[in-house]
Amino acid sequence: MPIWLTIAAIVAALLVGIPLSIWLTAPVRKNRQAFAIASALFFSFGLYNPAQEKIAEAREEDEHSKRQKSGDPPEPDITEH
């Protein structure tokens, strides 16, 4: 598919999608309580990240492994015979 055709499809989707979404959400914007709830839900998705704890643990493991690699290698235990 040529790039100009892809760009034209994206522009067409935006030209149709923006007015359609405005028209479909008009009743919600007129109802203040529904609008407040929808806004709160929309903005709360950025605050809650269930993967944040896993990301923090992975960073700690990466930093720990970097510190381990930076020093002298551990000497073998002679008493293991």
Domains identified in the chain, total number: 2
**Is the confidence at residue 70, as pLDDT, over 60?**
no
Quick check: is 49 in a domain?
yes
pLDDT value at residue 17: 93
Q: Round the average pLDDT of the chain to a whole number and report it.
A: 79
Contacts of 28 (CB under 8 A, 6+ apart): 34, 35, 38
% helix, strand, coil for the chain, step of 5: 80, 0, 20
pTM of the shown model: 0.41
Question: What does the alpha-carbon distance between residue 8 and residue 16 come to, in Å, rounded to a whole number?
Answer: 12
Angle (nearest 5°) at CA 41 between 39 and 47: 110
Q: Both 39 and 18 in a single domain?
A: no
In a domain, 81, yes or no: no
Answer yes or no: do 39 and 25 share one domain: no
Q: What is the pLDDT of residue 68?
A: 64
Q: Which of 33-37, 63-67, 73-77 has the highest mean pLDDT?
A: 33-37
Provide the residue range defining the domain that includes 60: 35-69
CB 54 within 8 A of CB 61: no
